[in-house]
């Protein structure tokens, strides 16, 4: 859909040669993309956060104390230096992302944080499980 929109805007820019129309087209493309996302994902978008650090227990404890989300810790190995690393997994709602970043950075400044969009999160604190028929 994005490629089709880009082709339409580019074609319109070549044919019409007016900056106003191009700007309006870009605004419409942006709004339609956001509306499509809202319809598909809904209002409660969430983020999957993967935190790779040396102070996993301290970071996990701080997250549990200062945010309403749970944390899962896995053991990992950094393949460059073959050193053990703690890998923390947690899901937060978009509005909680800044708080998570601040907490992690305050405990372990060298932490490596990966944040991904989550299309669906089910469980306590998120969308409830529906009974299967």
Let me know whether 74 and 108 are in one domain: yes
pTM: 0.67
Whether residue 129 is contained in a domain is answered as: no
Whether residue 130 is contained in a domain is answered as: no
Let me know whether 66 and 29 are in one domain: no
Given a cut of 70, is residue 89 above it in pLDDT?
Answer: yes
Let me know whether 52 and 108 are in one domain: yes
Let me know whether 108 and 56 are in one domain: yes
Let me know whether 101 and 63 are in one domain: yes
Number of domains the chain contains: 2
Let me know whether 93 and 54 are in one domain: yes
Give the residues across from 48 on adjacent strands.
91, 116
Give residue 131's pLDDT. Answer: 67
Let me know whether 37 and 52 are in one domain: no
Higher per-residue confidence, 32 vs 77: 77
Half-sphere exposure for 7 (CA within 13 Å, toward CB): 4
Let me know whether 52 and 110 are in one domain: yes
Backbone angles phi, psi at 3, to 5 degrees: -65, -45
Residue 91's contacts (CB-CB under 8 Å, 6 or more residues apart) are 46, 47, 48, 49, 69, 118, 121, 126
Give residue 133's pLDDT. Answer: 44
Let me know whether 34 and 83 are in one domain: no
Whether residue 124 is contained in a domain is answered as: no
Mean pLDDT, range 28-54, rounded to an integer: 81
Let me know whether 29 and 84 are in one domain: no
The whole domain housing 84 covers 46-118
Mean pLDDT, range 119-131, rounded to an integer: 73
Whether residue 123 is contained in a domain is answered as: no
Q: How confident is the model at residue 69 (pLDDT cuts 50, 70, 90)?
A: confident
Let me know whether 52 and 112 are in one domain: yes
């Amino acid at each position: 859909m994005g490629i089709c929109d880009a082709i339409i805007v580019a074609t319109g820019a070549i044919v019409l040669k007016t900056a106003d129309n191009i700007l309006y087209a870009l605004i419409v493309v942006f709004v339609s993309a956001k509306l499509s996302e809202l319809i598909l994902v809904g209002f409660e978008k969430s983020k999957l956060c993967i935190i790779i650090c040396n102070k996993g227990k301290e970071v996990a404890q701080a997250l549990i104390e200062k945010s309403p989300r749970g944390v899962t810790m896995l053991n990992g190995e950094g393949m460059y230096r073959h050193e053990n690393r703690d890998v923390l997994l947690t899901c937060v709602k978009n509005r909680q992302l800044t708080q998570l970043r601040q907490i992690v950075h305050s405990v372990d400044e060298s932490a490596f944080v990966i944040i991904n969009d989550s299309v669906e999160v089910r469980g306590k604190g998120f969308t409830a499980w529906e009974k299967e028929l």
